[in-house]
Amino acid sequence: MIGKIAWKNILHKPLSTALSVSLLMFSVGIITLLLLMQHQLEQKFQNDLRDIDLVVGAKGSPLQLVLSAVYHLDAPTGNIKLAEARTVMENPMVEQAVPLAYGDSYRSYRILGTSEDYFKKYDAQVSEGRLFSKNMEAVLGANVAEASGLNLGETFVGTHGEAAQGHVHDEHPYTVVGVLEKTNTVLDNLVLTNVESVWQVHEEHHHHDDENHLADDPHATRLDFDHDHPDHDHDHDHDHDHSNEVITADSMELTAVLLKYKNRLTMLNMPRIINDQTNMMAVLPALEINRLFYMLGIGATTLKLIAGGIMLMSGFSVFFVLYSRLRERRYELALLRSVGYRPVQLFRLLLLEGLLLTGLGYLLGVILSRLALMLLNQQAASDFHIKFIGNFIAAEGWLFVLTLAVGAIAALLPAWKAMQVDVSTSLSEG
């Protein structure tokens, strides 16, 4: 009966209930949304990082290099010379060196030239077909396959750059030879091919460009990383058969190299040596990602503080609602005493009302956060290929405990006062 009285009571004053509940709903909603996003971003970033000890790329922003080379979220910092990259890749202390050459994009999915080691790194298996073995063969990540609807044996052409509408490389179609199983890693959103294919498309493309835009200012193309080959030997063989060619000329370029050491301790000096003695930049990805999360964390903490402030206010509103009604409710509290309720049961009644108000706010807040997440997914999925899921996480459980604690503390004084109601005096007030 106490439960029923508590429930009916908070429904009986819908406006003040709505105030307390909506304040809680917003604070819980904001905090939950932040917790969910932070949790999943960190998980995703950690998962995609795998065993990459060092990322080597063109000089620029270290964070940009990591975001582009490991997570494929940003534009690359530029290109590095294959010859120079080789000095690092062939270092005896390097266990595995995965070359990455950024090609074009297909329907906003990046085409990436790489080696078989890249698949091994992410434990990727083909669900259909096989991995590439020749130039211009492509393997689709699970999401790309699903979004594009391309089947084995079908061909497609890359679009220059990341934009949806760019220059289309009509003359160099890729053939789909394999589709990967879903890995929940960056691979799902990539079109993978060998490095030589990327070179082949762009080598031809350069000649093509040079032939057609001879009058153009040569510096205009320097802004575009994919076209930025100032030292490129434009004279080497134009007219050979591209189909099965392995281009190994040292003048060719890579975008980045992902390194795994044999022994981390012996390689402590490697980043410094690369940064000091080459035109390349070496970055420890784990360090950069920690830095990124630290910076994101400052923003998230600010938002959490605001949400915490709202929660505090909602605590006060619960207190005011319960406390201000005590005066008009003393008759009914005295009545409850007179029909046999113990003072401690009245204490429980008020406490329960506080818990119900905050518990209800929590429930609605969690629902609100899921709705916001759905909305966010619609916006973010196409831009970043990140899909947040609404799984319940442990931190939400703690938030629930915190919310109930706010309700209990807010109800404490009103509940104590309810216990003290003087039955005889209240009931003899005519």
The interface region with other proteins, picked from 6-14, 72-80, 232-240, 280-288 by CB under 8 A, is: 6-14
Distance of CA 152 to the CA centre of its chain: 30
Closer to other proteins by CB, 34 or 356: give it.
356
Closer to other proteins by CB, 85 or 322: give it.
322
Q: How many CB atoms lie within 10 A of CB 426?
A: 17
Q: How far is the CB of 14 from other proteins (least distance, A)?
A: 11
The interface region with other proteins, picked from 169-177, 191-199, 336-344, 363-371 by CB under 8 A, is: 336-344
Closer to other proteins by CB, 149 or 430: give it.
430
Q: Give a three-class secondary structure readout of 18-62.
A: HHHHHHHHHHHHHHHHHHHHHHHHHHHHHHHHCCCCEEEEECCCH
**Residue 9, interface with other proteins (CB under 8 A)?**
yes
Q: Give a three-class secondary structure readout of 91-121.
A: CCCEEEEEEEEEEEEECCEEEEEECHHHHHH
Closer to other proteins by CB, 283 or 336: give it.
336
Interaction with other proteins in 127-166: which residues (CB under 8 A)? none
**Residue 265, interface with other proteins (CB under 8 A)?**
no
For other proteins, the binding residue among 4, 219, 240, 327 (CB under 8 A) is: 4
Per-residue interface string for the shown chain with other proteins, residues 288-327, x marking contact by CB under 8 A: ----------------------------------------
Closer to other proteins by CB, 17 or 403: give it.
17
Instruction: Give the CA count within 13 Å in the CB-facing half-sphere of 74.
Output: 14
Q: Whole-angstrom Cα distance, residue 255 to residue 78?
A: 6
Closer to other proteins by CB, 66 or 350: give it.
350
Query: What are the φ/ψ torsions at residue 282 (nearest 5 degrees)?
Result: -115, 135
For other proteins, the binding residue among 51, 236, 342, 381 (CB under 8 A) is: 342
Q: Whole-angstrom Cα distance, residue 141 to residue 181?
A: 7
Q: How far is the CB of 29 from other proteins (least distance, A)?
A: 28
Beta strands in 147-277 (DSSP E): 155-156, 174-180, 190-194, 253-254, 256-261
Q: Whole-angstrom Cα distance, residue 325 to residue 230?
A: 79
**Would you tell me which residues interact with other proteins (CB under 8 A)?**
1-2, 4-5, 8-9, 11-12, 329, 331-332, 334-342, 345, 423-424, 427-428, 430
